[in-house]
Chain A
Amino acid sequence: MSRVLRLNPVACAGHGACAELLPEVISLDEWGYPLLAPGPVPAGLARRARRAVAACPALALAMESAADSAYSEKTQSQHRADPSAGPARLGT
């Protein structure tokens, strides 16, 4: 059963404990907020992922089954498909 990490960006205050405990999946942006690698948590990292979830002082991180996550993701993106293909490329 594959598990996926999901972040609640409203709850997240950028403590950064998660990125320390699970650096293979979570890194921090230049403002200290987590960037989650997409896709399921690798099987061997499940225990550490659970630790990261428990360690979050803001309870912003959750781990759920892939099916539930697809439901949540659909919720998040149900209102639009992002039509912009990619970053703007400009000549200097």
Chain B
Amino acid sequence: MTVTSPAGATPGLAARPPGPALPRLLPPGGRPGGLAGHLAALGPLPYRGGPGRLIADVAESGLTGRGGAAFPVARKLAAVAAGRRPVVVGNGAESEPLSGKDAALLRAAPHLVLDGLQLAAEAVGARRAILAVHPGGYAGGTLTGALAQRQAAGLDRVPVELAEATDGFLAGQETALISALNGGLGRPAFTPPRVSDRGVGGHPTLVQNVETLCHLALIARYGAAWFRSVGTGTEPGSMLATVWQADGRAAVTEAALGTLLSQLLDLRGPVQAVLVGGYHGAWLQAGQAAGLALSNASLRPAGAAAGAGVLAALPAGRCGLAETARVARYLALASSGQCGPCLNGLPRIAAGLAELAGTRPRPTVIHDLERWSGLTSGRGACHHPDGTVRFVRSALVTFAAETAAHAAGRCSAPGAAPFLLVPAEQTPAPGGRR
């Protein structure tokens, strides 16, 4: 099927080749052959010849951010393009412990990420691009090798700087990342000013998740209609999901928006609950999850959101409260300690959950948890307290039976091994590092 390009298209793109079918970003076997193989498989990097020209295509595609916020990309591009001397940042920090999609992209499709970075830079008129990765993300030299290939081929018009994000759950948060890139402590900041107005070096900054940049790179080649050929009307396209099955296997899968969760997660076995959206997401009961799809339209009424595509099935034989308590402890330690409600609320909530997950919790604990949740959510500079409260509240609902059992002194799975991946406790990171 030939996709015709929109009116006013760049000369030379009169008839576009058909775009790849699913999976689009990470096809099995990848696109081997380094830069040459990548360009042979996907075609040349379609620079538009000036700032702003790509934005209309992106707007038509309906692409939203894949870092969890789902903010319309075209709007972000337009906002930053209006500023002076903007900077583009590719956010590959991926500080959500359960998410592995950004690492997979940087490892298996670095040229697609870097294409997207160049196209985004051109679209906003940036002369500076930064790719931020998880600490230790340069290991293996894939990225530096890819950049060297592109430099040798003269492909990149804007020099790309590689940077390491800090360690910690909030490292990928937009303002925290900017703070680290500016040589600061890497803590979230109060907005305004938004990073699209003042970011790296005080310049308007575009921050996009690396998966979003990949989609951008493909939309530039194959057009908005191709992007919209999968997905739903209001949520077009595909997204990467990191799926943790009940038997402990995990994989990064690409799925069209609107795919049923039951097609991604094996819910036939003894699964008691599903965590949708990672540690700032929500627990759903397995039966409930079986009827939902990977889209915000389906998930929001159930109290969840697609987020960055993390799906985890909790098998039977685990204590959902204990899992939640472990994660809540990690989230409490992740607080940057800047805002009173977060600093006071999250540790209390974590300690309360630990008590609830233990033996003989006091009957007041649940009421305290609800009061603290109400006092904590929405009162910080970033959404860490909100996300944590959402996660905790959903656990109290989904694991209500378990909660009642604990109140009576019983646990359905006493001493069960931990299931969810929670990073080990570390001393606080010293701050941003390049």
Asked if B396 is at the interface (CB within 8 A of a chain A CB), the reply is: yes
Please state if A76 and B390 are interface contacts (CB–CB under 8 Å): no
From known contacts A78-B69, A78-B71, A82-B390, infer whether A10 and B341 are also in contact, taking CB-CB under 8 Å.
no
Give the one of B69, B302, B341, B370 with max A CB within 10 A. Answer: B341
CB neighbours of B386 from chain A (8 A): 80, 82
Q: Mark interface residues in B373-401 (1 if CB within 8 Å of A CB, else 0).
A: 11101111101001001100110110010
B394 contacts which of A33, A71, A84 (Cβ < 8 Å)? Answer: A84
From known contacts A84-B282, A84-B390, infer whether A33 and B370 are also in contact, taking CB-CB under 8 Å.
no
CB neighbours of A84 from chain B (8 A): 282, 303, 389-390, 393-394
Asked if A44 is at the interface (CB within 8 A of a chain B CB), the reply is: no
Please state if A10 and B303 are interface contacts (CB–CB under 8 Å): no
B190 contacts which of A9, A88, A90 (Cβ < 8 Å)? Answer: A9
CB neighbours of A87 from chain B (8 A): 370, 373-374, 393
Please state if B396 and A90 are interface contacts (CB–CB under 8 Å): yes
CB neighbours of A11 from chain B (8 A): 190
Give the residues from 39 to 92 in chain A that come closer than 8 angstroms, CB to CB, to chain B: 71-72, 75-76, 78-85, 87-92
Please state if A79 and B71 are interface contacts (CB–CB under 8 Å): yes
Please state if A29 and B192 are interface contacts (CB–CB under 8 Å): no
From known contacts A9-B190, A83-B304, infer whether A88 and B370 are also in contact, taking CB-CB under 8 Å.
yes
Nearest A-chain residue to B195, judged by Cβ? A75
How far apart are the CA atoms of A72 and B191 in the complex, in Å?
A: 7
Give the one of B190, B282, B390 with max A CB within 10 A. Answer: B190
B340 contacts which of A14, A75, A78, A81 (Cβ < 8 Å)? Answer: A14
A83 contacts which of B282, B380, B396 (Cβ < 8 Å)? Answer: B282
Please state if A13 and B340 are interface contacts (CB–CB under 8 Å): yes
Please state if B71 and A85 are interface contacts (CB–CB under 8 Å): no
CB neighbours of A79 from chain B (8 A): 68-69, 71, 174, 383
Please state if B189 and A10 are interface contacts (CB–CB under 8 Å): yes
Give the one of B70, B381, B394 with max A CB within 10 A. Answer: B381
CB neighbours of B341 from chain A (8 A): 9, 29, 31, 33
**A residues whose Cβ falls under 8 Å from a Cβ of B:** 8-14, 29-33, 35, 71-72, 75-76, 78-85, 87-92
Instruction: Provide 26 A-B residue pairs closer than 8 Å at the C-beta atoms, listed in order of the A residue.
Output: A9-B338, A9-B381, A10-B190, A10-B381, A12-B339, A13-B340, A29-B341, A30-B375, A31-B341, A31-B375, A75-B191, A76-B191, A78-B69, A79-B71, A80-B383, A82-B386, A83-B304, A83-B390, A84-B303, A84-B390, A84-B393, A85-B303, A88-B393, A88-B394, A90-B397, A91-B404
